[in-house]
Chain A
Amino acid sequence: MNKFSYFSFLMEKYFDGSINADERAVLREMIGEEAGFQKLFVEHATQESNLRSILKKQKETAPVSASRRRTARYHTKKKQFLWAWAAAAAAMLFAAAGFFIVSYSPDGAGKEGIIAQRPQKGIKPPKETASSSSPDVKKPGHYPHIKYGLGHQGGDSGTGPGDPSGEGSRIVGAPGAGSMTGTTIGRGKGRGLLFSRDFSQYSEGTTPTGLSVSRENGASVETVETVRVLHVYPGCTVRAGILAWKDYTAEIECKALPEGEEDFSFHIRTMNGQKYYSFRIRGAEKKALLYRKSGNSEKELRSIQFEAAADTWHTLRASAVGNTLSLHIDGNEVMLYDGVEWLNGYIRIQTGSSCDLLIKRLAVAETNKKK
């Protein structure tokens, strides 16, 4: 490389900004020695400035070339793709968070419920029933392939639209007068079935899945009087379902102890621990009541005289259809309230401070489900 070429090479490095100290010293020396290099340097500097300004201007004014348009389209699509993924991920997170919030309400029942649901050492996992082998909690309409029977297996004289064959398609109100010993939701297959647990199918000491219990060991499956039941201990709350449940009928077959001093509540359309409708059975007062709880206020909406028969398993059916709530006890409509303020929510069963509740079966089915 001759001196001129080397000088040109150094100038390229210099104007590129990548010249090192030694090379700069050489360049400086060369410029200082020869007037020709001084001219070359200044010429190079002005040409560099001109090239920069010309090409910068061309870039600003030139139409976008096809390749650059393609590149721009690619980047746009890439951005759209990334945004779509981000939106999908956010939606999934939101849905998961929503489901979690719905599943475990802030009233405290959920957190303890999670603990309570953990399998304990040495306890056999629960044996799921045919109906409970399906997912624990389903939103309405998730069982389109399953038929369900609301009919009266015992052949009682229901006057409602229940299907005596057990192949009916929807739950609409109560079967009317007559007992429901034969009964009803959750037995057999059912379309619109939202939740079902037959506790006789579960091992002792377990808490069936899908139920949230407000405190540890607050409710578990036990054998009482030769019957396998869910024993809800005093001062405990058991919860099932999700916030999205709207029109449904919830039914429990239960017995409260001690007899004559029953005190438990059947909450329906529960939004949270402070907002729900509650059918309450108070044996000491011989009353069945309906309350609306909203925040700190609790209002009595309905009250009827009710005395539970001794040593009898009762069937409580609470229905929520639109803005109407109804309570059927042993097949009889005992309470009706029209004026519900909120239209969705899960169910809860709450025992009083000195009441034990034994539940044979719990089932929830969607109402007004069309064929």
Chain B
Amino acid sequence: MKKAEYMSEKKKNDILRKLITYNSMLSGYIYSLAEDWAVVEEALQETAVYMCEHWKDFTPGTDFGAWARTVAHMRCREVLHREGRQDRIRKSVSIHIPDNVWEEYSVYPAEKKQALTECIQAVGKKSREIIRLRYEEGKSCGTISRILKKSVDAVYMALSRIRQALKKCVEEKLSGDTV
């Protein structure tokens, strides 16, 4: 009896740990459905609540990511339905992306996250300012363009370059090279 309880508790903890690990992928996935970061936060919270309440539904050894995405998809649909925007899912750009692609990027290891954090600190002053405005302040690219007195397209391109640089930096860090 005690062993069964222990196993149940262990299973529950494993699910929670996985959920945290899959958090980035789930956020991106929900965004690809809803195209709204506010909906992402709400749906993600409801996904976490649902998975904590129904952790027994998950069968160990099966695809956790698929289960998580299914739950997230349902919760996102509910949130959008409450707001009368359920059509968003049907028009989603990610409709053609197969599950295996999502699964490939589902786990974002802690060391990778640490590397990304360090790389953010290492970028140039101008890039750092764009990142700060975009992600810390949550400003749109249009607003950033007005603040930095640049065109919106230039901001998009700058962000794209920064993203490439960060990706390269993280890869280099994880491969043991120093930047």
Using a CB–CB cutoff of 8 Å, the interface residues on chain A facing chain B are 5, 8-9, 11-18, 24, 27-28, 31-32, 35, 38-39, 41-56, 58-59
On chain A, the residues within 8 Å of B74 by CB distance are: none
On chain B, the residues within 8 Å of A14 by CB distance are: 35, 93
B29 touches A45 (CB 8 A): yes
A49 touches B24 (CB 8 A): yes
- What does the 1/0 interface line of B95-129 toward A look like (CB < 8 Å)? 11110011011001000010011001000000000
Does B132 count as interface, using CB distance less than 8 angstroms? Answer: yes
A41 touches B136 (CB 8 A): no
CA distance A56 to B37 in the complex (A): 13
Q: How far is the CB of B130 from chain A (nearest CB, A)?
A: 11
Given A28-B93, A31-B94, A55-B132, A17 contacting B108 (CB threshold 8 A)? no
For the complex of A and B, list the 9 residue pairs with the smallest distance between their C-beta atoms, beginning with the closest.
A45-B28, A49-B27, A32-B96, A55-B135, A12-B156, A49-B24, A8-B160, A28-B93, A46-B24
On chain A, the residues within 8 Å of B157 by CB distance are: 5, 9, 12
CA distance A350 to B23 in the complex (A): 86
B156 touches A13 (CB 8 A): yes
Interface residue tally of chain B, by bracket? 35 or more
**For residue A23, which residue of chain B has the nearest CB?**
B93
**For residue A17, which residue of chain B has the nearest CB?**
B35
Pick from B28, B36, B93: contact of A27, CB below 8 A: B93
Q: How far is the CB of B6 from chain A (nearest CB, A)?
A: 32
CA distance A313 to B97 in the complex (A): 110
CA distance A28 to B27 in the complex (A): 19
B24 touches A53 (CB 8 A): yes
Does B43 count as interface, using CB distance less than 8 angstroms? Answer: no
Q: How far is the CB of A355 from chain B (nearest CB, A)?
A: 79
B104 touches A45 (CB 8 A): no
Pick from A9, A44, A56: contact of B156, CB below 8 A: A9
Given A18-B142, A47-B167, A59-B136, A9 contacting B153 (CB threshold 8 A)? yes
Q: 12 A-B contacts, Cβ less than 8 Å apart?
A: A12-B160, A38-B101, A42-B102, A47-B116, A49-B25, A50-B24, A50-B108, A52-B135, A53-B27, A54-B135, A55-B131, A55-B136
CA distance A24 to B95 in the complex (A): 12
Does B85 count as interface, using CB distance less than 8 angstroms? Answer: no
A43 touches B156 (CB 8 A): no
On chain B, the residues within 8 Å of A59 by CB distance are: 136
A9 touches B160 (CB 8 A): yes
On chain B, the residues within 8 Å of A56 by CB distance are: 135-136
Tell which of B23, B28, B159 has the most Cβ of chain A within 10 Å.
B28
Does B86 count as interface, using CB distance less than 8 angstroms? Answer: no
On chain B, the residues within 8 Å of A45 by CB distance are: 25, 27-29, 31-32, 94, 105
A46 touches B108 (CB 8 A): yes
Does B91 count as interface, using CB distance less than 8 angstroms? Answer: yes
Pick from A28, A42, A54, A58: contact of B28, CB below 8 A: A42
- What does the 1/0 interface line of B132-158 toward A look like (CB < 8 Å)? 100110001110000000001100110
**For residue B132, which residue of chain A has the nearest CB?**
A55
Given A24-B93, A31-B96, A47-B163, A41 contacting B32 (CB threshold 8 A)? yes
On chain B, the residues within 8 Å of A12 by CB distance are: 141, 156-157, 159-160
Pick from A18, A31, A35: contact of B141, CB below 8 A: A18
Does B72 count as interface, using CB distance less than 8 angstroms? Answer: no
On chain B, the residues within 8 Å of A16 by CB distance are: 140-141, 156
CA distance A16 to B152 in the complex (A): 11
Q: How far is the CB of A65 from chain B (nearest CB, A)?
A: 11
Known pairs A32-B96, A43-B105 / 13 extra A-B pairs, C-beta < 8 Å? A13-B156, A16-B141, A24-B91, A32-B95, A38-B101, A39-B104, A41-B32, A41-B94, A42-B28, A46-B24, A50-B108, A53-B24, A56-B136
